[in-house]
Structure 1
Amino acid sequence: MPLELRQLIAAIYSLEGGVYARDALVVNLAAQMARLTEHEGLEALAKGKTARLLKVGLSELMRVRKA
């Protein structure tokens, strides 16, 4: 399996130290959102490292959740 694919799969579970590729950040944020129940808020996720690095705010996360 190619290294890049393994890194994306690993990003689902956690981000390792170092420089983060944008696609790994997106996969990680999507996985975090998928783990939320419908009653859990997005505020903590919006304040988290992944959302900050992607420059994604609460309004964008809410829009994605509704889609």
Structure 2
Amino acid sequence: MRGLGIAFLPHMAVQQEVAQGKLQAIPFIHESNLYTQVIYLQNKWHSQAFQCLLGLLTPDMES
């Protein structure tokens, strides 16, 4: 909204701002192999929601 760059965001996260003209959606039609990382402390308490997120991101690993 401040003209500082672009970001990959789910449409549902910005659909109101796009409808209001505050943000402009740029269609992304190219195939992409985005690499993502999650960094967290293993020996720290994790909420159930966080554990579920880790399970979705890393189905072959136990958290």
Whether TM-score is above 0.5 comes out as no
Normalised by the size of structure 1, how large is the TM-score? Answer: 0.30
- Comparing both structures, which one devotes a greater share of its residues to helix? 1
Normalised by the size of structure 2, how large is the TM-score? Answer: 0.31
Q: Tell me which structure has the larger Cα radius of gyration.
A: 2
